[in-house]
Amino acid sequence: MESTILNSISSPLDLKKLTNPQLNSLAKELRKFIIDIVSVKEGHLGASLGVVELTIALHYVFDTPNDLLIWDVGHQAYGHKILTGRKDLFHSNRQLKGLSGFPKITESIYDSFGTGHSSTSISAILGMAIASKIKGDFKKNHIAVIGDASIASGMAFEGLNHAGVTDSNILIILNDNAIGIDPSVGALKQYLTNVKTGNQKQDNIFEALNFDYSGPIDGHNLSKLIEELERLKSVSGPKFLHIITTKGKGLKQAEDNQVTYHAPGKFDAKTGDLIPKSALNQPPKFQDVFGHTLVELANSNKSIVGITPAMPTGSSMKFMMETFPERAFDVGIAEQHAVTLAAGMATQGMIPFCNIYSTFLQRAYDQVIHDVALQKLPVIFCLDRAGLVGEDGPTHHGAFDLAYLRCIPNITIFAPRNEIELRNIMFTSQLGKISGPLAIRYPRGRGVTLKWELPFETIEIATGTQLKKGNSIAVLSIGSIGNNVTEAIESLDISHYDMRFVKPLDHHLLHTIFKNYPIIVTVEDGCIIGGFGSAISEFAVNNEYKNSIKMLGIPDQFIEHGSVSELQNEIGLTPNQIKEYLIKLLEN
């Protein structure tokens, strides 16, 4: 193997032996190492390339892991992982049983806090700093690195607001590159732009919050970073360092096309060019069906508006934003605001389609209950990335949405089995026939239907449908996991029902099922506890049915990362596993 500086680094202690020229050479090697592996293994690219110099400087100046360091969001932590003893394992990043794509406290002592979602670092690092002070440890440093998109979130400002009235030894580093996954938005983004260009005339907002502010400085000037971090080590109280970086630094295509190269898939490590994926005869992505359908509906219904919290590309809300920019809103990383904004619009007769990833809606749970459901407002929640999402792992699996929404009064919950059903429920939802909010949850990735652009049909609320007629056993599924069931029972004498609605349930159909089948099997790609299977069991108890009910779904544990098929195999939800399970039931 070629002898390189990077090969000599097994921990941050090795960094401290290097000269400035060697550190700059290390930065080039670290970028190449990340590019070479991510080009083949896939993952998040641009964010980590943008903080290579900062990563080196932090571990060079501070005494990690004794000094505590949090990366917000973990998209930018690849270099951190490589320099903290995980270089030889980095090829397993995001693979089944391999390294997590995000910082994870059980993976390394250098990962002070798990950060798969944004805007948590300031609150967490302040909690750690206060704990250090209580324990009498006044020498420990506490550092949080947060991006300009993440710091605009409400929780980040809650942390800043508290930190500014403490004397805690914390350093907040703002990694300002004007982009999260999509370009940053909002008044704070404009403020930071004015600071960078020297056009900001008012007082510095961070100084006004009682932080010792310094910057902005070039985040790719390693010597300057080290010099400033060394200075800040001796400054007491809350400190704020503003650095300017370029997302995707060092790979021209990643610098020029920062949205695509956030997580580009496979690409040529030498040229940077994407390796095209064959799209011939493939069904569309669910998110694209949502995006195109929303535009189609908005063309004929002037009351429709679209809202997304910083996910216009990932949710395909970008189609609405391009076609009807005055009726589509990216509100930044602000899920709580997105939900209540939608509620406000609904009170005025608008029809808001609020598209939020399943796990991100967890961050706005009170708003769903208090601002929407309690007031019975007709907000349409489109929950992308429901169920198992694959390599992003437990922070992003949409495992809990059915359970956490099902217990809320006034809400209707629908899970389409395919793209046509997604289109039809979207069409139905804007006709004014549903009282109160509607949640539509659908998976990440491609569906199953090539010819999906069919004329709209109205879906009757609280109706399921029989997909296959059989004897003895009835399988009840919800959502796209029903396609696994269809494949599993193709040769079996078993009935299959797509219930479609988790709330309200199709009671008429359920009575028919329970009167005709002694064994009921429920299948869902959500958590079993409190989910779809639980709803069916509650129906049975309330109606005094004694049928045998078996539930397949996500067990009571956090599911790690891997491909969707690998993870389904881990928990018994592949077509073959469902088939084997049902055959055993038939034999008994």
- What does the pLDDT look like over 275-289, one tens digit per residue? 887 767 889 999 999
DSSP symbols for 193-227: HHHHHT---S--HHHHTT-EEEEEEETT-HHHHHH
Active site residue 28: no
Angstrom distance (rounded) from CA 525 to CA 397: 10
What is the enclosing helix (H) or strand (E) of 509?
helix 507-516
CB contact at 8 A, 462 and 504: yes
Residue in the block written with tokens 């005869």:
281
Q: In degrees to the nearest 10, what's the CA dihedral of 227, 231, 237, 240?
A: -30
In contact, 354 and 338? CB cutoff 8 Å:
yes
Strands 495-498 and 465-468 turn out to be antiparallel
Each residue's pLDDT, cut to its tens digit, for the chain (588 residues) gives 455 999 999 999 999 999 999 999 999 999 999 999 999 998 898 899 999 999 999 999 999 999 999 999 888 999 999 999 999 999 999 999 999 999 999 999 999 999 999 999 999 999 999 999 999 998 899 999 999 889 989 999 999 999 999 999 999 999 998 877 777 888 888 888 888 887 776 778 899 899 999 989 999 999 999 999 999 999 999 999 999 999 989 888 888 888 888 988 899 888 888 988 776 788 999 999 999 999 999 999 999 999 999 999 999 999 999 999 999 999 999 999 999 999 999 999 999 999 999 999 999 999 999 999 999 999 999 999 999 999 999 999 999 999 999 999 999 999 999 999 999 999 999 999 899 999 999 999 999 999 999 999 999 999 999 999 999 899 999 999 999 999 999 999 999 999 999 999 999 999 999 999 999 999 999 999 999 999 999 999 999 999 999 999 999 999 999 999 999 999 999 999 999 999 999 998
Please tell me the pTM assigned to this model. 0.92
Coil, strand or helix at 100: coil
Q: What is the pLDDT of residue 184?
A: 81
Looking at residue 1, its pLDDT comes to 42
Q: Rounded CA gap, 38 and 18, in Å?
A: 26
Is 444 known to be catalytic? no
CB count in 10 Å sphere of residue 570: 15
CB 561 within 8 A of CB 390: yes
Whole-number pLDDT of residue 279: 62
**Are 379 and 372 spatial neighbours (Cβ–Cβ below 8 Å)?**
yes
Indicate the SS3 state at residue 552: strand
How far the first Cα of the chain sits from its last, in Å, is 59
Nearest to 230 by CA among 222, 475, 500, 238: 222
How far is Cα 492 from Cα 27, in angstroms, rounded to an integer?
A: 59
363 is catalytic: yes
Tokens of 482: 């029903």
What residues contact 557, with CB distance under 8 A and at least 6 apart? none
Task: Find where tokens 């004897």 sit.
Answer: 471
- Spot the catalytic one: 247, 249, 318, 423: 247
User: How far apart are alpha carbons 388 and 164 in whole angstroms?
Assistant: 39
Domains of the chain: residue spans and CATH: 6-262 (3.40.50.970), 286-443 (3.40.50.970), 465-587 (3.40.50.920)
Among 335, 419, 421, 524, the active-site one is 335
Q: Which of 81, 363, 441, 500 is catalytic?
A: 363
Chain position carrying tokens 């619009």? 345
